[in-house]
Structure 1
Amino acid sequence: MHFSIPETEVRSDENGSTYVAYNIHVNGVLHCRVRYSQLLGLHEQIKKEYGNNVVPAFPPKKIFTLTPAEVDQRREQLEKYMQAVRQDPILGSSEMFNSFLRKAQQETQQIPTEEVQLEIYLSNGQKVKVNILTSDQTEDVLEAVASKLDLPDELVGYFSLFLVQEREDGGCTYVRKLQEFELPYVSITSLHSPDYRIVLRKSYWDTAYDTDVMDDRVGLNLLYAQTVSDIERGWILVNKEQHRQLKSLQEKGSKKEFIRLAQTLKYYGYIKFDPCITDFPEKGCHVIVSAGNNELNFHVKLPNDQMKEGSFKVTRMRCWRVTSSQVPVANGTANPSSSSKCDVKLELAFEYLMSKDRLQWVTITSPQAIMMSICLQSMVDELMVKKSGGSIKKMQKKRLNGTFQRSDSQQTVKSPPLLVGIEDSPDPSREQVVKLSTKLSSVSLRGLSSSNSASDISGNEFHGNYAFEGIGDDDL
């Protein structure tokens, strides 16, 4: 999650006194407004609970009224403080920090605590209505949905709630996975748009876990509905013969066989992102990125309109970062200035082992950059669990206990146990870097014809030296 404080506001309290409010944004969207005194109170609580040695530096109090320059300086200091707390493996996952953010979110949106009905959508468009409190956190809502569907407790951890935006063309954009520091009802209500939905979707990548889910009737139905939906929207590639076989199994009601056949198809279990821009293999290339099977898959359109496909294994990424910048919105007349309206430009960059002795940065410019980063981190989490012989249930428990670190934007993150340590990044801008395992697998970059059929992939590569031998995934 990318935490930032891009602006401040002068507001009035109930007594008519003015104060400076610091607007905390998550992924470029306003999450809450807080006063300096509120953040100071949080800081004091953290110090009392965890000690001075753990707590990041906090901007000091001032005796006199701050000048505009001093307010902006404090804003930057508070932003760094929030980022430092969030990226800390203990503080960032603490109930103290998360409850502070949830309470501030509710107060900012001025939504009182009361019982409401919230609609949660399944992958096939069906919706489940659950009765919750407006102050219920993400885990509470997920459990309420599971209870309504009769999904067993042991399978709840296999699913997550995602914020999804429906597009005019009938497609959808996965904005983010709902986090423990937010209130789903408040998050969806504050967007003031019918285009957004909360969707229940499986939250794991390894298809071996499908067996656990399919052993339960409700789990089977959820996975089947998601698989059918992914095929219909074109996320999973199907040729005519495979389509015929799937249709036959669907008519017979053979859901398990349907899923097992789908597991053999290209891009099964992947999340597909909206078209965006990459600098690989050339700057300014249009690309469609998909995440799954421990990789980021690229469908790239080169400047000469040639189509290429490439796969970047997460085990071969040395590190990655997400950076953001403010981009003025052009209105045809105004020049970019501090008073201009700005959009947030997000970039995901990863350093990749292209050959035995050559690392290269690959950058993706996309509003979904943080969602891509979350996907990468969750793939690493699963590989760690698999390496240690654990299960997805243990992984969920470790996440709740704060064992796993998050890929917070523009913050340096300490590596999980399986991963090697952080090194200085060559990029001077503020960023987060997650260092990955040195046990890496090879990348294969292939040419793709315009038909996008799995059978049409040729042996052409982006460059001649990108296909090589490396340490395989089995060595993880």
Structure 2
Amino acid sequence: MHFSIPETEVRSGDNGSTYVAYNIHVNGVLHCRVRYSELLGLHEQIKKEYGSNVVPSFPPKKIFTLTPAEVEQRREQLEKYMQAVRQDPVLGASELFNSFLRKAQQETQQIPTEEVQLEVYLSNGQKVKVNILTSDQTEDVLEAVALKLGLPDELVGYFSLFLVREGSDGSCTFVRKLQEFELPYVSVTSLQNPDYHVVLRKSYWDSAYDSDVMENRVGLNLLYAQTVSDIERGWILVNKEQHRQLKSLQEKGSKKEFIRLAQTLKYFGYIKFDPCITDFPEKGCHVIVSAGNNELNFHVKLPNDQMKEGSFKVTRMRCWRVTSSQVPMANGTASSCGPGRCEVKLELAFEYLMSKDRLQWVTITSPQAIMMSICLQSMVDELMVKKSGGSIKKMLKKRHNGAIHRSDSQQAVKSPPLLDSPDPSREQVVKLSSKLTSVTLRGISTSSSSNDISGNDFHGNYAFEGIGDDDL
């Protein structure tokens, strides 16, 4: 996740005095407003809990009122502090840090703690209504959804909640995976836009773990609904014969066989991102990026309108980073970047081993850059667990405090409608595409095996969304 403090605001306190508020953004969106004194209090708590030697440096107090230049300097220092804490594997995952962010989010949005009903969508469009508190964190909401559906405790960790934006044309944009430091109800309602929903989706990449999920009736239905949905929206490519076979299995109600056939299809289990811009193989190319099978897949439109396709394996990425910058909106000016007049430009850049002795940076400019980075990190996490001989089940399972008592009124997952006929225009796009040759993209690995991980081309030490000083 990308933390930033791009702006400050002068606000009025309860006693009529004014103070400087620092706006903390996550993934380019306002998460909360905090005062310097509140962050200082957090810093003191962290220092007391974990020791001064592990806590990043904090900007010092000032006796006199800060000048505009000093406010700007403090803003930059606080931004670096928040990023450093979040990047620390211990501090960033601590309940101390996350509870501070949750409380600040709730106070900023001025939503009192009360019981509410939240609609969580399944992949087939079905809504699951759960009664929660506005102050319930992501894991609480996930457990409430699992309880309503009847999903066993041991499978809860195989799924996650995502913030999704639906377009008027039926398109689906994955904004981000909801994190432990946010309150899902507050996150979705504060956007004040009915196009945003919370969606339940599987949170792992290796299709071998589908077998664990399919052993349970609810898990099977959830995975089946997601597979059908991904086929319908064109994320999984299907030719006419495959479509006929799938529809036959669907009509028979053979869900496991349907999923197993889908597992053999191109882009099964991938997340597809909105069209964006890349500098590879040429600067300014339009590209559709998909994440899955331990890779980022590029479907590139070159300046001469030729379509190319290629994949970047995470096992050949030396490191990656996400950067953000403030750019004026279309109706703004180059010098005006105040609140409401600027938008955030996000870029994901990764250093890739193109050939034995040649590394090259590849950059993607996309509002979903951080979501792409989260996908990369989770793929790396799975591969590292496999490489170390660990159990993916232990990584995915949630360890609950106390038993969860199941409700008698469990909600069944409905089957999606039968598949529509394949989109003819989608097949035309596939025909236009051709694999990137070794001339246009040297060193692209086509192997789908995870056995090509070695100490020479794979680094597990990622500090800021995949990149750390140790990697350079």
Q: When the two structures are superposed, what TM-score results if normalisation uses the length of structure 1?
A: 0.86
- The match for 2:297 is 297
For residues 347 and 90 of structure 1, the distance between their equivalents in structure 2, rounded to whole angstroms, comes to 26
**Once the 2 structures are TM-superposed, how far is the Cα of residue 398 of structure 1 from its aligned partner?**
9.8
- The match for 2:176 is 176
SS at match of 1:181: coil
- The match for 1:92 is 92
Matches within 5 A, 1:12-23: 12-23=12-23
For 1:274-310, what per-residue CA distance to the aligned partner results, in whole angstroms no more than 9, with x for missing partners?
A: 0000000000000000000000000000000000000
- The match for 1:466 is 443
- The match for 2:222 is 222
Matches within 5 A, 1:201-350: 201-331=201-331, 334-339=333-338, 341-350=341-350
- The match for 1:362 is 362
- The match for 2:116 is 116
Q: Does the CA contact (< 8 Å) of 1:281 and 1:462 recur in 2?
A: no
The answer to whether residue 146 in structure 2 is matched with residue 134 in structure 1 is no
For residues 448 and 216 of structure 2, the distance between their equivalents in structure 1, rounded to whole angstroms, comes to 37
Q: Does the CA contact (< 8 Å) of 2:312 and 2:444 recur in 1?
A: no
For residues 22 and 235 of structure 1, the distance between their equivalents in structure 2, rounded to whole angstroms, comes to 40
Q: Does the CA contact (< 8 Å) of 1:237 and 1:454 recur in 2?
A: no
User: 1:132/1:347 Cα in 2 relative to 1: closer, same or farther (>3 Å)?
Assistant: same
Q: Does the CA contact (< 8 Å) of 2:310 and 2:435 recur in 1?
A: no
**Once the 2 structures are TM-superposed, how far is the Cα of residue 460 of structure 1 from its aligned partner?**
4.1
Give the aligned length: 427
Residue of 405, 428, 431 corresponding to 1:451: 428
User: 1:389/1:331 Cα in 2 relative to 1: closer, same or farther (>3 Å)?
Assistant: same
**Once the 2 structures are TM-superposed, how far is the Cα of residue 17 of structure 1 from its aligned partner?**
1.4
AA aligned opposite 2:190: S
Matches within 5 A, 1:406-445: none
Farther-moved stretch of structure 1 (237-246 vs 450-459) = 450-459
For residues 464 and 75 of structure 1, the distance between their equivalents in structure 2, rounded to whole angstroms, comes to 42
SS at match of 2:428: coil
AA aligned opposite 1:337: S
Q: Does the CA contact (< 8 Å) of 2:23 and 2:33 recur in 1?
A: yes
**Once the 2 structures are TM-superposed, how far is the Cα of residue 387 of structure 1 from its aligned partner?**
1.5
- The match for 1:50 is 50
For residues 22 and 76 of structure 2, the distance between their equivalents in structure 1, rounded to whole angstroms, comes to 10
For residues 142 and 344 of structure 1, the distance between their equivalents in structure 2, rounded to whole angstroms, comes to 30
Q: Where does the alignment leave 5 or more consecutive residues of structure 2 unmatched?
A: 401-425, 454-472
SS at match of 1:119: strand
AA aligned opposite 1:13: G
- The match for 1:385 is 385
For 1:21-69, what per-residue CA distance to the aligned partner results, in whole angstroms no more than 9, with x for missing partners?
A: 1100000100000001100000000111111101100011111111111
AA aligned opposite 1:353: L
Q: Does the CA contact (< 8 Å) of 1:349 and 1:364 recur in 2?
A: yes
- The match for 1:152 is 152
Q: Where does the alignment leave 5 or more consecutive residues of structure 1 unmatched?
A: 401-448
AA aligned opposite 1:194: P
User: 1:462/1:347 Cα in 2 relative to 1: closer, same or farther (>3 Å)?
Assistant: farther
**Once the 2 structures are TM-superposed, how far is the Cα of residue 461 of structure 1 from its aligned partner?**
4.6
For residues 249 and 345 of structure 1, the distance between their equivalents in structure 2, rounded to whole angstroms, comes to 45
SS at match of 1:148: helix
- The match for 1:59 is 59
For residues 328 and 372 of structure 2, the distance between their equivalents in structure 1, rounded to whole angstroms, comes to 24
**Once the 2 structures are TM-superposed, how far is the Cα of residue 346 of structure 1 from its aligned partner?**
0.4
For residues 3 and 115 of structure 2, the distance between their equivalents in structure 1, rounded to whole angstroms, comes to 29
User: 1:39/1:66 Cα in 2 relative to 1: closer, same or farther (>3 Å)?
Assistant: same
**Once the 2 structures are TM-superposed, how far is the Cα of residue 395 of structure 1 from its aligned partner?**
1.6
User: 1:390/1:313 Cα in 2 relative to 1: closer, same or farther (>3 Å)?
Assistant: same
Percent identity between the two aligned chains: 85
For residues 440 and 45 of structure 2, the distance between their equivalents in structure 1, rounded to whole angstroms, comes to 55
**Once the 2 structures are TM-superposed, how far is the Cα of residue 13 of structure 1 from its aligned partner?**
1.5
For residues 232 and 47 of structure 1, the distance between their equivalents in structure 2, rounded to whole angstroms, comes to 51
User: 1:152/1:11 Cα in 2 relative to 1: closer, same or farther (>3 Å)?
Assistant: same
AA aligned opposite 2:329: V
For residues 398 and 42 of structure 1, the distance between their equivalents in structure 2, rounded to whole angstroms, comes to 27
The answer to whether residue 188 in structure 2 is matched with residue 188 in structure 1 is yes
- The match for 2:404 is none
Higher relative contact order (CA 8 A, sep 6+): 2
AA aligned opposite 1:175: V
The answer to whether residue 34 in structure 2 is matched with residue 34 in structure 1 is yes
User: 1:468/1:258 Cα in 2 relative to 1: closer, same or farther (>3 Å)?
Assistant: closer
For 1:194-225, what per-residue CA distance to the aligned partner results, in whole angstroms no more than 9, with x for missing partners?
A: 00000000000000000000000000000000
Q: Does the CA contact (< 8 Å) of 1:326 and 1:344 recur in 2?
A: yes
For residues 378 and 257 of structure 1, the distance between their equivalents in structure 2, rounded to whole angstroms, comes to 27
User: 1:150/1:454 Cα in 2 relative to 1: closer, same or farther (>3 Å)?
Assistant: farther
Q: Does the CA contact (< 8 Å) of 2:11 and 2:19 recur in 1?
A: yes
Q: Does the CA contact (< 8 Å) of 1:120 and 1:129 recur in 2?
A: yes
**Once the 2 structures are TM-superposed, how far is the Cα of residue 463 of structure 1 from its aligned partner?**
2.1
**Once the 2 structures are TM-superposed, how far is the Cα of residue 383 of structure 1 from its aligned partner?**
0.4
User: 1:241/1:110 Cα in 2 relative to 1: closer, same or farther (>3 Å)?
Assistant: same
